[in-house]
Structure 1
Amino acid sequence: MSIRKRSRLMIAVPGFLTLDDFLKLPAIEESPAWEYIDSEAMQKPMPGGKHSRLQLRLASAMNATTSTYEALPELRCTFGGRSIVPDLVVVATEQIPVDDDGEIISTGLEFAPPWVIEILSPDQNQTKVTRKILHTLRHGGQMGWLVDPDERVVLVYRCDRLPDEFTGDAVLPCLEGIALQLTAEEMFGWLRVRA
């Protein structure tokens, strides 16, 4: 058994870890959350200021334009043998799992959300993030955004075509039913705190 330490959190991780074993580990929901990919538990990197601001503004903008979908930050999604925590998931309100009281359940989603958004943090591995988006698309997701604040580009992944690159005044595609009219330039403009 190995010990992996990040900041003040210590977690015992067995040499071979099943998904069920991972989901029973203590503190996997600590911030930043832990993910399970290819039999390995790994903690997400701590987000930076650009990441946090874009995550907040994107969720707010999406939730203001629709009542049939909801953008939820840092929600655990367990499907296809993995347990990931995308920066944002966009899911139909009717698909949000609830308990007997009608409140959202604490374990997150057990299916691939229709739309995932990942925002690169400083020192985050772009390939690992891309693999999470592709995994979601392979298991029923419809769209994934990979937002790179430093490069000012959004790569949009869909299951029926090659990825598209959006910069400048290009309007970012959304799921059908979400009337968000947002360009890459407008989104990255949210990074300015003072004009």
Structure 2
Amino acid sequence: MTIASTQIKGLTLEEFLQQDYIDESPAYEYIDNQIIRKPMPKTHHSRIQLKLASLIESATLKGNKVMAFTELRCTFCDRSIVPDILVVETEKIPLDEDGELENNAIFFSPIWTIEILSPSQTPTRVIDNILFCLENGPQLGWLIDSQEKIIMVFQPEKPLKIYRQDETLPIIENIDLSITPNNIFSWLKIK
């Protein structure tokens, strides 16, 4: 089922989660009692998401205390969002009886949320999701803007900081990674 409107009112969070269409691509989110469809990614978004998620996953320290995912639904505190990239603590991930990841959404906040701004997105809505996550437990939030070639970094009890060019970006614990905006935006060039 495809919904034409990008905003639909009238469902509770529990009713929203029962809808078949919410995980169509692009996914739907439930924010402030509204159903909002994410925009379809373009090449910049898709390339950065693929490369960055892979890099984060390969940089996790031994013991796999954290794990990276892309486009995984997170439902918590009366909101259901789908960050572009998220990092969660492995101990919180539900497992089935065979010790494998449950094939489901998560019902807690990630410790690191990364959003990649698409041309059709307003920064306000994306920043609101990052701030909402930070209010509910995460250690770090990034908003990557490939048009402006900047990365906005959000951290609890610290002012917003914009990183440019060769400034080393902050990373959460348990990930051995040193990366700059220039590293990330270099992925947009064909070498």
Aligned residue in 1 for 2:156: 159
Secondary structure of the corresponding residue to residue 113 of structure 2: strand
1:101 to 98, 103, 106: 98
Quote the residue 1:43 is aligned against.
Answer: 37
- Within a 5 Å distance, the mapping from 1:71-150 to structure 2 comes to 71-150=68-147
**Aligned to 1:28, what secondary structure does the other structure show?**
helix
Q: Structure 1 length as normaliser, TM-score? A: 0.91
1:60 paired to 2:54: yes
Superposed CA RMSD in Å reads: 1.8
Tell me the secondary structure at the aligned position of residue 22 of structure 2. coil
Aligned residue type for 1:23: L
Please point out which of 19, 24, 27 is paired with 2:18.
24
Deviations 1:33-66 (A, max 9, x none): 1100011111110000000000000011111111
Mean alpha-carbon deviation: is it higher for 64-73 or for 109-118?
A: 64-73
Structure 2 residues without counterparts, runs of 5 or longer: none
Q: Which amino acid aligns with 1:21?
A: E
Aligned length: 187
The residue type paired with residue 4 of structure 2 is K
* Structure 1 moving runs of 4+ over 3 Å: none
Q: Percent identity?
A: 45
Letter in 2 for 1:36: Y
Of stretches 88-97 and 44-53 in structure 1, the one that deviates more from structure 2 is: 88-97
Question: Normalised by the size of structure 2, how large is the TM-score?
Answer: 0.93
CA distance in 1 between partners of 2:41 and 2:47 (Å): 10
- Deviation by residue 1:1-21 (Cα, 9 ceiling, x = unmatched): xx9416xxxx9x5x4211001
Do the aligned residues in 2 keep the contact of 1:97 with 1:108 (CA within 8 Å)? Answer: no
Aligned to 1:5: 4
Higher strand proportion (structure 1 or 2): 1
Unaligned runs of 5+ in 1: none
